[in-house]
Amino acid sequence: MLKRLKSYDDLIAMRKSSDKKVKKDKVKVSICMTGCRALGAQEVYAEFSKQIKKQKLQNKVEVVETGCQGLCARAPVMTIDPPGVFYGRVTVDIVPDIIASTVLKGEVINKLCYAEAGKKIPYLKDIPFYSRQNKIVLRNCGIIDPNSIEQYIERKGYDAFAKALFEFDPEQIIREITRSGIRGRGGAGFPTGLKWGFCRKAKGDTKYLICNADEGDPGAFMDRAILEGDPHAVIEGMLIAARAIGAEKGFVYVRAEYPIAVNHLRNAIAQARKLNLLGNNILGSGFNFDLEIKMGAGAFVCGEETALIASIEGKRGMPRPRPPFPANSGLWNRPTNINNVETLANIPVIIAEGAGWYKQLGTKNGAGTKIFALAGKVKNTGLVEVPMGTTLREIIFDIGGGIPGRRGFKAAQMGGPSGGCVPEEHLDLPIDYESVKAVGAIMGSGGLIVMDNDTSMVDISRYFMEFVQEESCGKCVPCRVGTRKMLDILTKITKGEGCRSDIEDLKEMAYVTQTASLCGLGQTAPNPVLSTIRYFINEYEALIK
C-alpha cells in the first residue's frame, strides 16, 4: 500500500524500507514484457510463474516484468541474475530446463545464448551489443518493473526532482540544464536550457508543459520503449521542467497506437499522485504540478509542435506560422514548453550528476548520449544508446553485428522518412547534429534503417516520399503539391518510364518544397530524394536509360 509522502525525508525513508524488503539472495529473472509480447513473452512469463509456484520456489526466485532490454532481434529475451546470463528466443517448453539448470544451479544452456562468429556468449556484460553501449536514458529499462514506483525509487528515482525542488531555484535549474549542453532529442536539436529560459521569461500567469510522445517515424520506437520501460523517468523530468518554467499543468501527447506505453504511463501517474509526487503541495514544498494524458490519432504531422498543440485543443492537427513561438503563445495562447520523451528522461540524470559530468559525454556540439532504433538489414536490430560522436560504423558493425549473410552495406537512412541516406563513404562520420546535416541527413528522433547492396535507392526514396505525401496535412501548397509531384516523378522512374529531365525536375521541386513549406514536415520531406540523387545518381540514370 502506497503511503503519502509529506517531505523529502519520507522519500528517503521509503527507499530504505523498500531496500530492506528486497531479498539479496533471491535469483532475479527479468523478462521483457513489452515488444517481446509479439513473440510469446507473455506465455513464457506465465509458464515461469506457474513453475515457480508449482516447485514452491517463491522465496528463492523473483520473476520481474520489464520493459525493452534492447536486443529485439533475439526476442523474447530475459536475463537471470545471478549469474548474469542473457537468453534469447526463449520458448515455453524450455522454461523447466531454465529453472532446473540456470536458476537453481547456475548452469548455462548454450542453445539460448547469444552467438557471434560461431562462439556462444552467455553473459550479458560480454555481449558486444551491450558492452559497447553507454546507457544513461535507458539506465532502468529492462531492469525494473515499469509498473512499480517502489523499484524506481530504489534506484534513486525522484532524488533529482527533490534536489531541484529544495536546493535549486528555477533560474538555477535552467542554468544547470543550459550548462550541460543538452539539445532537444526530437530532431531539431534546439538547446533545451535556452528553450526553458524563453518560456520562463514569457509573460503570463498560466504556463503549460507538454511531453511530445507522438513518435511516428517508420522503424522508430525510442520514445515508446522509454515510456513502456521507465515511465517515472519521464514524469520526473517533467516535474523538474515544470519547476523551472513555472508550470502547474502538463500533458503527455502520445499516440493511441502505443497501448502498453499509455497503460504504463497511466499507472505511473496514478502511483506518483498517491505518493504526493504529483498534485498539490508536492512533498510539502508548496509546489503544484499535475499531468494529463492526451492520445493522438496517429497523424505524423502532429509531431510538429504547433500541430500537436492544435490537436490537444481539440482542433485538427495542422501547423501554424511562427512567430509567435509556443514559448510565448502556445496551448490556449499561453506560454508553453514542449520537449520530447528522450529529452525529458535525460533531465533527472543531469540534475543528479551535474552539468559538468553530463557535458563530458558526447561532442562539443552534442553533449550526452543518443538512442537509435536500429532496424533493417542488420544482425542485431533493437535499441542502442551511445555517446554523441559515435560513428555509424561502430553502431552498425560493432554493436549491430553487421549485415546478415554475404551482402555488403549500402546506406543507412537516418532521421526517419524526412531524413537522408548516408552511404558507405561516411561510415566513419562521428554522429552529431551538424555532421549529419552536412552529409544530407538529419539526426531526427533517432531512426536508423540499414540497407544492403540489394536495396534500390530509388525505391527507398519513393517509399519515404509516399509516406510523407500521405501524412502531409495539406495546409500549405508547397508541401501538398510538391510532395505529390516528387512522388509522381519517382513512381514514373521506378516503372522504367522516366526521362532525362526528371532528375533536374526532382531537384527543382525539392528546393521549392524545402524553402517554401510551412512546417518541418515539408521542409525536410525532400531529404531522401536529394541524398539519394547526391550519392546514388547512377541508379536513377540506369532506370531512366
User: pLDDT tens-digit profile of 158-190?
Assistant: 999 999 999 999 999 999 999 999 999 987 789
Length of the chain: 545
Q: Over pLDDT 70: what percentage of the chain?
A: 99
Please report, in angstroms and rounded to a whole number, the separation of the first and last CA atoms in the chain. 72
Helix axes 341-353, 170-180, angle to 10 degrees: 100
Angstrom distance (rounded) from CA 250 to CA 230:
18
pLDDT at 381: 96
For the beta carbon of residue 428, count every other beta carbon within 10 angstroms.
Answer: 10
Q: Residue 21: pLDDT above 80?
A: no
Tell me the CA distances in angstroms from 178 to 193, 339, 369, 458, one per residue in order. 4, 14, 16, 42
Q: Which three cell numbers stand for residue 156?
A: 534513486
Q: Is the pLDDT of residue 1 over 80?
A: no
pTM, to two decimals: 0.95
Is 149-359 in CATH node 3.50.50.60? no
> Is residue 191 within 8 Å of residue 378, measured between CB atoms?
no
Give residue-wise pLDDT tens across range 179-225: 999 999 987 789 999 999 999 999 999 999 999 999 878 778 899 99
Give the integer Cα–Cα distance in Å for 504 and 484. 16
Fold equal for 26-131 and 369-452 = no
Say what the pLDDT of residue 8 is. 85
The CATH class, in words, for 26-131 is: alpha beta
Residue boundaries of the structural domains of the chain: 26-131, 149-359, 369-452, 457-544
Digit-coded pLDDT (tens) for 353-405: 999 999 999 998 899 999 999 999 999 999 999 999 999 999 999 999 999 98
Average the pLDDT over 444-451 and give the result: 88
State the pLDDT at residue 417: 83
- The answer regarding whether domain 369-452 maps to CATH 3.20.20.80 reads no
pLDDT of 23 strictly over 80 = no
Question: What pLDDT is recorded for position 22?
Answer: 60
The CATH classification of domain 457-544, taken from the options 1.10.520.10, 3.40.190.10, 1.10.760.10, 1.20.1440.230 = 1.20.1440.230
Per-residue confidence band for 290, with pLDDT thresholds at 50, 70 and 90: very high
Task: Supply the pLDDT for residue 365.
Answer: 86
pLDDT number for residue 17: 82
* Mean pLDDT for the stretch of residues 17-33: 82
Q: How many other CB atoms are found less than 10 A from the CB of residue 209?
A: 28
